[in-house]
Amino acid sequence: MLSLTATGLYLAVGAVCLYAAVSTGREGASRPGRAIWLAIAALFVILAASRMLNAEDRVRDLMRVWLNAGIGYEARRTIQGPIAATVLALSGLAGIALLLGFRPTRSGARVERALLWATRASAAMLVLVALRLISFHPVDAILYQPLRLNWVFDIGLTALVGIAALAHAHPWRIREVGRRSRHG
């Protein structure tokens, strides 16, 4: 049931991202943003297909078979630990780069910030998928027990992308207090 809900949520967010891509170019948004929104929409469609086909479970099972045939399943931690540490380190560096390397232009700052948050959340989603695939026991203990942080992160990041896409497609106009027209 949860997988079906996640699939529907992924598809809904993919559709909203597609709508954000179509709306790019208005409200001072940069044209390259369209390609990013399309890539994010594609990511969520792929995540939906992956969830429907149980692709993560199948890849994880194939990796276990490969490890059994190669170094032995019990020795898997010698590989999983460094891979998990590398994924976390690279995602940390990418996060820092996203924080420091992007400065929205003045004309479309609100719209570009929405794109930045969607990009950050999508990158974090990819890290979450990678950590689930690696299936390193200490990481799994955090993700799957007792609060099921896996689902909290998954739903939270997906919702963040959806909200950012909506904010991009329909930027809210906040009226400044005290600023009124003298002619009306």
Count CA atoms closer than 13 A to 18's CA, side-chain side: 11
Angle at the Cα of 48 (from 29 to 166), degrees rounded to 5? 25
Tokens 């909506």, residue?
166
pLDDT in tens, 29-63: 556 788 999 999 999 999 999 999 999 889 888 88
pLDDT in tens, 4-24: 898 999 999 999 999 999 988
What number is the average pLDDT over the span 103-109?
59
Q: How many CB atoms lie within 10 A of CB 130?
A: 16
| Residue 177 pLDDT level (bands cut at 50, 70, 90) | very low
Greatest distance between any 2 Cα atoms in the chain: 80
Q: How many CB atoms lie within 10 A of CB 49?
A: 13
